Structure 1
Amino acid sequence: MKRIIFLLILLSYVSFGQTKVGSTAAPFLNIGVGPRAISMGGAFVATANDMTALYWNPAGVARMEANGALFAHTRWFADISYNWAGVLVNMGSFGSAGLSLIYLNYGEMEVTTLAEQDGTGEFFSAKDIAISLTYSYNLSDRFSLGINAKYISQKIWNCSAEAFALDLGTLFISDIYGLRIGATISNFGTEMQLDGKDLFILYDVNPDINGNNDQILAKLKTDAYALPLVFRVGIAKDFVFQNNRLTIGIDAIHPNDNAEAVNIGGEYAFNENVFIRAGYKSTFLTNTEEGITLGFGLKYELSPGIYANLDYAYQDFGVLSYTQHFGIGIKF
């Protein structure tokens, strides 16, 4: 029931908006990844210096000198579970490669009909999956390129849809006070169209004629929808104070299913071991419940050259309450 109420709330916001919200497939691709980036308001395109660069900007992967892995979990609305996992391998002069997985599980829901509105006793589930392969290379000591090739799948009960897409990213470190400039285009790919045995129905071609075959097997045809194409451009700057660091980032976002917006965020690092973060999402965007983001992180040296990190983020969603994000990673 909570999931149904949540969907109705989303539809009410769509109906009053003047944008194309809800007009694309696979909206789960727009859910941000990693508590660090989330707590910085999603302003991460020009920072992109941890494992979640596999999602935010694949060009940043080439600038990570270590190997690593990260698992992130989000407690989404209506008890929906959103998980992301990624691994990164630095291949030296050959660049860097990575593999990542998004898994969104809506849980089990009971089947209801007009005749049995309290449930039939049968249950169904829905899930979304995206698998990405990443390659990134430093063209120079200042300029990097990266690409994701990904497979996308959505499934509800016995119907599913699939697509293939690319993400392209660039990262440039300028000589103007070390200012970083990043840009990405995400989810450039094929359309998605649901298909499966749940679309088969028994149909009466002409109900006005008695005695004809009123049980003809037919199949419903669904529309095809584009993926949520997103263009991001951002800037970031580090300010170093002895052993401490302050990072400020600003991202401008241009999606094909919503209006333009700006994300702003920052991170303060104490001796690169303790981190405090804050940000604000969807600035200048009307009809949104997104806003303040907060978080913190800890890094611990397990042994020489091997580090573990724990991260947490809180994201305010107004009338929809809030979401919490957790992450654990290792770098070696």
Structure 2
Amino acid sequence: MLNKKLFIILLLFFPALLFSQFRKYSNEFLNIGAGARAMAMGSAQIASVKNSTAGYWNPAGLVGVKDNPNVSLMHASYFAGIGKYDYGALAIPVQDNKRTLGLSVLRFAVDDIPNTLFLVEPDGSINYNNIQTFSSADYAVVFSFAQNLKPIKEHAFSFGVNAKVIHRKVGSFATAWGFGIDAGAQLHGDKWHLAAVAKDLTTTFNAWSFKFTEREKEALYLTNNAIPLKSTELTAPRLILGGGYNFTLGKSVNLLAEANLDLTFDGKRNTLISSKAVSVDPHIGLEAAVKDVFFVRAGINNFQKALSDGDLINQKKVWIYQPTLGAGFKLNNVVIDYAFTNLANQSNPLYTHVFSLHVNLIKKENIKIVK
């Protein structure tokens, strides 16, 4: 349990202790996902999303919230409950459904991390009573705006922007504040959907500051640890392209297929397409809707090359991937979604159950009273 917590905290927060520069995996908590529907579809979402989770995936999709405000809530536990992820979003349509305002709040935290800085006494003895615990938490607040624009050849077209404020805190030792901007667009035909999202459009930054007591500084010095100074962590822009298509199966079943391409420009990554200029990470998702009441979903993402099983001499590099499954149920103005996801890949599973709730807040004037 201790090793897992140390691994997670190093993975999430160690980059902030280095000098200011671009980080390939900066602010990774913002890439976990939002809504069980999206996570069950392999995070292939930017072209079809049309509820309040669009503030996370593609702000242009917020125009799909019409007439009544929409609320989304999600909670998930990762790494056997060590990491806790909470997400909430609100979308409010305004000006006769021509525009939509959105607010999203995210939190990822690892609690009860042992602080062993004073485990060893000056005389060399070990005193377990000196072990204290602390928490590391990431927060993000995203303000969204979306608007329907002039149709393109009678096809619906919308545009949206996000302004996100980031706060990260590691116990009493380190805090960071950051800011970033996203922008997205959607184009819809009768059965097809196209979308593009620019994440961290202006380069998202985290400005870190550190605070240590004199006793803590002394302990760090005596154990040959560097005392970190103020630094700035930068997140490079990336582009996501997506497309989807609806198929009708009989009178009651509608099938949606969507594919997204996540393009990064910060050097080679372990993705399906990798080069110095651009790396491409695909996401593929399917959703079958039965009378728009019951939903079954599946997806694939996180394609990577890894060494195959076998002895060290005969090992070869093979492609691995992350499968996802899920379902949903709609009852009047309430939708409950479920996703069964794997945080790693099919050869090294870290399965997680995710539930999310979506509610349309019906206005009083829309409620009919039956006497």
Same-fold call, TM cutoff 0.5: yes
Find the counterpart in structure 1 of residue 32 from structure 2: 31
Instruction: State the percentage of identical aligned residues.
Output: 25
**CA RMSD, 1 decimal:** 2.9
CA shift digits 1:149-183 (9 cap, x unpaired)? 11001110121111111110000124xx6311000
* In structure 2, distance between residues paired with 1:47 and 1:117: 56
* In structure 1, distance between residues paired with 2:127 and 2:183: 47
Deviation, structure 1 residue 61: 0.5
The answer to whether the 8 A contact 1:185-1:230 is kept is yes
* In structure 2, distance between residues paired with 1:127 and 1:256: 28
* In structure 1, distance between residues paired with 2:188 and 2:72: 25
The residue type paired with residue 149 of structure 1 is: A
CA shift digits 1:106-135 (9 cap, x unpaired)? 112221135148562422111000001111
Find the counterpart in structure 2 of residue 211 from structure 1: none
User: Any gaps of 5 or more consecutive residues in structure 1?
Assistant: 12-19, 208-217, 302-306
* In structure 2, distance between residues paired with 1:107 and 1:8: 10
Find the counterpart in structure 1 of residue 328 from structure 2: 297
* In structure 1, distance between residues paired with 2:231 and 2:322: 33
CA shift digits 1:88-120 (9 cap, x unpaired)? 101125501111100112112221135148562
> Please, which of 313, 324, 327 is the counterpart of residue 353 of structure 2?
324
The answer to whether the 8 A contact 2:5-2:110 is kept is no
Highest relative contact order (Cα 8 Å, sep 6+), 1 or 2? 1
> Please, which of 244, 247, 253 is the counterpart of residue 239 of structure 1?
247
| CA shift in 2, pair 1:24/1:221, >3 Å | farther
CA shift digits 1:238-290 (9 cap, x unpaired)? 1123222100000000135644211101100111111000010124x335975
* In structure 1, distance between residues paired with 2:6 and 2:115: 16
Find the counterpart in structure 1 of residue 262 from structure 2: 253
> Please, which of 72, 76, 85 is the counterpart of residue 78 of structure 2?
76
The answer to whether the 8 A contact 1:6-1:78 is kept is no
The answer to whether the 8 A contact 1:81-1:106 is kept is yes
The answer to whether the 8 A contact 1:144-1:172 is kept is yes
Find the counterpart in structure 2 of residue 165 from structure 1: 180
* In structure 2, distance between residues paired with 1:123 and 1:9: 15
Residues 1:146 and 2:169 aligned together: no
CA shift digits 1:12-54 (9 cap, x unpaired)? xxxxxxxx99644311111111110010111111111222111
Find the counterpart in structure 2 of residue 315 from structure 1: 341
Instruction: Trace 1:206-285 onto structure 2 (pairs within 5 A).
Output: 220-227=228-235, 229-241=237-249, 242-256=251-265, 258=269, 259-283=279-303, 285=304
* In structure 2, distance between residues paired with 1:153 and 1:8: 16
Residues 1:286 and 2:305 aligned together: yes
The answer to whether the 8 A contact 1:110-1:123 is kept is yes
Find the counterpart in structure 2 of residue 63 from structure 1: 64
The residue type paired with residue 296 of structure 1 is: A
Residues 1:53 and 2:72 aligned together: no
The answer to whether the 8 A contact 2:88-2:105 is kept is yes
* In structure 2, distance between residues paired with 1:230 and 1:199: 39
> Please, which of 108, 113, 117 is the counterpart of residue 109 of structure 1?
113
How many residues end up aligned between the 2 structures?
304
> Please, which of 175, 186, 195 is the counterpart of residue 199 of structure 2?
186
SS state of the match for residue 229, structure 2? coil
CA shift digits 1:53-72 (9 cap, x unpaired)? 11100001113214210101
SS state of the match for residue 5, structure 2? helix
| CA shift in 2, pair 1:33/1:2, >3 Å | farther
User: Any gaps of 5 or more consecutive residues in structure 2?
Assistant: 13-20, 121-125, 270-278, 307-318, 363-371
The answer to whether the 8 A contact 2:191-2:245 is kept is yes
| CA shift in 2, pair 1:26/1:246, >3 Å | same
| CA shift in 2, pair 1:237/1:299, >3 Å | same
* In structure 2, distance between residues paired with 1:139 and 1:199: 55
